[in-house]
Structure 1
Amino acid sequence: MGVESFLQYMRDLYGKVNSSVLHATSSGSNSQQIAFMRQLQKDLKVEVASRLPLNNLKAVVFDIETTGFLPDKGDQIISIGAVKVQGCQILEDQFYSLVNAGVEIPEEISRLTGIQTKDLQDAPSLSDALVQFFEFIDEDTLVAHHSSHEKSFMQSACWKSFKTPFKHRIVDTAFLFKIVEPNIRIFTLEDWCEFSDIPVIDRHHALGDAKLTAILWCHYLERAQQLGCRTLQDIYERLALR
């Protein structure tokens, strides 16, 4: 990986810190929620975690289920699942919420996820679910498997609900895979689990996928430490040399 590619990695990881106050309001959120989100984003320290020891790094491994792959074309989040980890240990703290997306769930998505439109009728709104999720995250680092999907939907959801940018770092499991297994070319969560002898359970359920990703994260984080990585910054620097 060249210098320009590494710089793009860092841009994607850290985001652009924008200290300006946004004055627009959202019809789907109340004023307290908007104030909460804006203060959260203002206070977010996006670079601190990169220098923390990996064996103490607090992270929230998460996954979302959606109606499709294109938030800018109207696809919506329909569930969020997450588990907390510290270092290489999976904690008992878990989060799961369906999301009332206000749309009909496509039949193929219902077959894949088991979520039907009627299941979302009494679910929290997107803004309520996001506030609950961000309260669960607190100041921890986010982790996701091939995180571009989660990132694009979170960016869209935060802007739609609160008119505020999404500034949380999302560390991609792919970074660890590239360090520990640089010659392996597999992509999907289930393939990585099978390659790593991890039983695939509750696939395409947001919390189930978050649990699988957390197991992978802890396994490969430990192996990255065995290779001499002590912080996330060490991992980024190794990626830059590839």
Structure 2
Amino acid sequence: MREIIFDTETTGLSPDEGHRMVEIGCIEMVGRMATGRTFHAFFNPQMPMPPEAERVHGHSDAFLADKPLFHERAGELLEFLGDAQLVAHNAGFDMRFVNAELARIELPPIPMARVVDTVVMARSKFPGSPASLDALCKRFGVDRSHRVLHGALLDAELLAQVYIELTGGRQIGLGLADDSDADSSGIPARPRLIPAVQRPHRLPRQFAASAEELAVHQEFLAKIKQPLWLSKR
């Protein structure tokens, strides 16, 4: 099954108040394994960036000034999404903005029936526990030390790892870590999304007892009076 894990950044909390999407990051997964294919774009929102929103993601008016308008990359985005199932954290928020942008250019909305909300999944699996992306990364041991500000592609990468945990745990060949040139199906491995930690090579440990150690052990056993393993039943 093909799935797209995605996240957005915006100028505010509601498109009904005129706020716009300024960034989207998407990661492709097939059979719950990341393929290495991504879609990432910034957009000029054609409105000033509110200071409170800029503090969240760091995208200033100057940074977004030369970025394309949504309609200029909408075709690429829709082609990348295809008919895949979509996965987002607090999906209603992201989908309202995506569909509002599509409505602006008179394209049909993406139905919510195609979307999985990982907030709903987390609250069902861990009732009463925090369900933010940060909280779930902490629960599952997902490294987010490189996350200073919110960013759509970075958050999608974190969410991909959280989603795997929510749906049953990490698997060999997940795609977020590339351990070989091909998986069991013979498909070449894709570039990793998140670099693995490089550990030094260690020589195999020898656990067999030496002749001297065996002799000392036998000497110790000989001192035990009436050992149970020699008792007659």
TM-score (norm 1): 0.64
Instruction: Determine the C-alpha separation between the residues in 2 that align with 1:197 and 1:211.
Output: 14
Contact 2:11/2:21 (<8 A) preserved: yes
Instruction: Select 1:124's aligned residue among 54, 62, 68.
Output: 68
Q: Tell me, yes or no, if structure 1 residue 58 matches structure 2 residue 5.
A: no
Instruction: Determine the C-alpha separation between the residues in 2 that align with 1:91 and 1:184.
Output: 34
Contact 2:10/2:22 (<8 A) preserved: yes
Instruction: Select 2:150's aligned residue among 204, 207, 210.
Output: 204
Contact 2:23/2:41 (<8 A) preserved: yes
Q: Which residue does the alignment assign to 2:29?
A: 85
Larger Cα Rg: Structure 1 or Structure 2? 2
Instruction: Determine the C-alpha separation between the residues in 1 that align with 2:21 and 2:139.
Output: 29
Instruction: Determine the C-alpha separation between the residues in 1 that align with 2:168 and 2:68.
Output: 37
Structure 1 residues 107 and 175, CA gap change in structure 2 (3 angstroms): closer
Identity %: 25
By how many angstroms is 1:160 displaced? 1.3
Structure 1 residues 205 and 122, CA gap change in structure 2 (3 angstroms): same
Q: Work out which structure has the larger RCO, using CA pairs closer than 8 Å and 6 or more positions apart in sequence.
A: 1
Structure 1 residues 110 and 182, CA gap change in structure 2 (3 angstroms): closer
Q: Which residue does the alignment assign to 1:222?
A: 168
Residues 180-236 of structure 1 show CA distances to partners (whole Å, capped at 9, x for unaligned) of x2434212111111111111133510001111111111122225xxxxxxxxxxxxx
Structure with higher helix content: 1
Q: Tell me, yes or no, if structure 1 residue 174 matches structure 2 residue 119.
A: yes
Structure 1 residues 71 and 195, CA gap change in structure 2 (3 angstroms): same
3-state DSSP class of the match of 2:167? Answer: helix
Structure 1 residues 110 and 175, CA gap change in structure 2 (3 angstroms): closer
Q: Which residue does the alignment assign to 1:232?
A: none
Q: Tell me, yes or no, if structure 1 residue 140 matches structure 2 residue 84.
A: yes
Deviates more, 1:143-152 or 1:129-138: 129-138
**Structure 1 residues without counterparts, runs of 5 or longer:** 1-56, 224-242
Contact 1:88/1:219 (<8 A) preserved: no
Runs of 4+ in 1 over 6 A off after TM superposition: none
Structure 1 residues 111 and 134, CA gap change in structure 2 (3 angstroms): same
Q: Which residue does the alignment assign to 2:15?
A: 71
Residues 18-76 of structure 1 show CA distances to partners (whole Å, capped at 9, x for unaligned) of xxxxxxxxxxxxxxxxxxxxxxxxxxxxxxxxxxxxxxx21000000001111000111
What's the RMSD between the two structures over aligned residues?
1.9
Q: Which residue does the alignment assign to 2:93?
A: 149
TM-score (norm 2): 0.66
By how many angstroms is 1:175 displaced? 4.0
Instruction: Determine the C-alpha separation between the residues in 2 that align with 1:84 and 1:171.
Output: 14
Q: Which residue type is aligned with residue 222 of structure 1?
A: G
